[in-house]
Amino acid sequence: MKETSEKSVAMYGVVSASKIIGETVVNRQSENVGKIDELVIDAKKNRIMYVVLSFGGFMGMGNKLFAMPWEAFEFSVTENKLILNVDKEKLKAAPGFEKGDEWPDFKDKLWGEGIYTYYNYTPPWK
């Protein structure tokens, strides 16, 4: 099964969410930036909307979580990992929320627009 799974990723870029959640994310410089805490999907449009990252101690960001547009990531089939295409300076000021707090309302288009705009992407509903 594992061999088939690896072939699927290599051939088609297909990977299950359970293989991504909990994995380390790197930046373009191959530095570890955090771990994937959650994937948020739009069930009506059949697409991933946000990747929720925990940075841990990366750049002194503590235990905050950060929802980022799926478009801010690139999946490396050869390395089998997500690469975050956001520079460190942008991450330092990124909007986030504390792990123990209530999570944002991902259905709130105004909130989502703020997130997409911060990372210089157009929300898919626009």
Can you give the CATH number for the domain in which 103 is found?
2.30.30.240
At 46-87, the pLDDT tens digits run 999 999 999 866 555 567 899 999 999 998 877 778 899 998
Domain span at 32: 2-118
Determine the Cα–Cα distance for residues 101 and 97; give it in Å rounded to an integer: 7
Residue 85 lies in a domain: yes
Length of the chain: 126
Domain assignment present for 43: yes
Torsion of CA 96, 23, 119, 12, to 10 degrees: -150
Give dist(CA 105, CA 100) in Å, integer. 15
Residue 65 lies in a domain: yes
Answer yes or no: is 63 within a domain. yes
The number of folded domains in the chain is: 1
- Cβ distance 115 to 50 under 8 Å? yes
Q: What is the pLDDT of residues 108-120, one digit of tens each?
A: 999 999 999 999 9
